[in-house]
């Protein structure tokens, strides 16, 4: 069973993350991102706004997530490592094939 490597990228915008992944795709047979806004949806979680954990309101219990202003995306590779991604990733998590999805 192959390990799964998840690279977390953080950027100021979705466009910045796209540009970083286009650069990291150079010379690779299957790109992480290409064109104006295309991502490899089979391996890249589309960029999403980062939020801080919600804090429950003392009276109502309502949780309110707080946007940080940054954007995140995750590149998840099955049985592969990528040195270019490792250079730009905020973190790398390696796990056995798990029940995600």
**Residue 36 binds another protein, judged by CB under 8 A:** no
Q: Which stretch binds another protein (CB under 8 A): 18-26, 42-50, 86-94?
A: 42-50
Give the residue carrying structure tokens 């940054």.
Answer: 70
The least CB distance from residue 89 to another protein, in Å, is 15
CA–CA dist 23, 21 (Å, integer)? 5
Number of CB atoms found within 10 A of residue 70's CB = 15
The least CB distance from residue 64 to another protein, in Å, is 7
**Residue 67 binds another protein, judged by CB under 8 A:** yes
Q: Which stretch binds another protein (CB under 8 A): 20-28, 70-78, 81-89?
A: 70-78
Residues that bind another protein (CB under 8 A): 1-2, 4, 30, 38, 41-43, 45-46, 48-49, 51, 53-54, 56, 60-65, 67, 74, 76-78, 97-101
């Amino acid at each position: 069973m192959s390990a799964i490597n998840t690279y977390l990228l953080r950027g100021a915008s979705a466009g910045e993350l796209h540009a970083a992944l286009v650069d990291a795709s150079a010379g690779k047979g299957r790109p992480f991102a290409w064109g104006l806004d295309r991502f490899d949806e089979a391996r890249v979680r589309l960029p999403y706004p980062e939020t801080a954990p919600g804090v429950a309101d003392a009276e109502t219990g309502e949780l309110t997530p707080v946007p940080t202003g940054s954007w995140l995306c995750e590149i998840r590779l099955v049985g592969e490592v990528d040195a270019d991604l490792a250079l730009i990733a905020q973190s790398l998590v390696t796990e056995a094939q798990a029940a995600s999805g």
